[in-house]
Amino acid sequence: MNATALSIAAATAGLAAGGYAYAAMWPTSQIFGHTIVAGHDPDEIAPTYDDGPNPVYTPQLLDLLDRYAVKATFFLIGNHVQRHPQIAQEIVQRGHLVGNHTQTHPKLLFCSPARVRRELSTCQQAIYDATGVLPTLFRPPHGARRPDVLRTARILGLTPVLWNITAKDWSPIGAEGITRNIEAALKRNRTRTRGSNILLHDGSQLDAPNGVGPSRQDTLTATANLLQSAAARKLRFVTIDRWQSNTSISTAGISKNLSF
């Protein structure tokens, strides 16, 4: 093979790899299957919180949301639910929506089909045991998915959810940086006439059993900033099921849906 052919082959492989990475990791991509991103009303905002429940930050966040009478969507890690079932229960009791964020927070893109099913079904059972609620929504950790990951979620009665605002609250940018990221993206979404689905975190996959993990204080402050500014602009806060065509799932099918 001559140098030109090698260059063409390398470029083709690079494009294919780039396309696969986009389909598998980009939050708004629909190439590997439909996922909920957001609705078409730019006045609607869905604040979502991943990686909880956390015994330090989740209760503070719940109190903050209560002060503004705002309901949010919490994508819970099954291991954390089992460590802190009372906090998971409180999330539900305060009227918030809970979703499945897997049992141990792996990148499902690199997991076997059996591991994918186990991660989702075990998390489903953990949340149901703690709250009496069987989630109908699923967010893949890091947004990483393959077509079969999305199919498995749907077999288990779960609608996949991604996001269209990355607040980057895991980065050392402070509450001001998180707020700037959110506000800039809200402006873009309004220009594009679409709702806003904001990715934030009240916990971390690195949380220890006693709750020690990365600080989410900046996320709390950024959330307070969002709640204050959105109220002044008369924006509406919604939970993700606002954009879900069918949120019902029969608890009679738990054994069937959760079996390995």
Q: So which residues are the catalytic ones?
A: 50, 201
Q: Is the N-terminal amide bond of 53 cis, ω within 30° of 0?
A: yes
Query: Is-contact 81 75, C-beta < 8 A?
Result: no
What amino acid is encoded at 135 in this protein? P
CA–CA separation, 207 and 57 (whole Å):
11
CA–CA separation, 143 and 160 (whole Å):
10
Which of 105, 30, 60, 80 has its CA nearest to residue 215? 60
Beta carbons within 10 angstroms of residue 216's beta carbon: 27
Which of 63, 156, 138, 55 has its CA nearest to residue 102? 138
CA–CA separation, 138 and 121 (whole Å):
11
Q: Which tokens belong to 108?
A: 């499902």
Q: Is residue 192 packed enough to be buried (19+ CB in 10 Å), middle (13-18) or exposed (0-12)? A: exposed
CA–CA separation, 211 and 222 (whole Å):
21
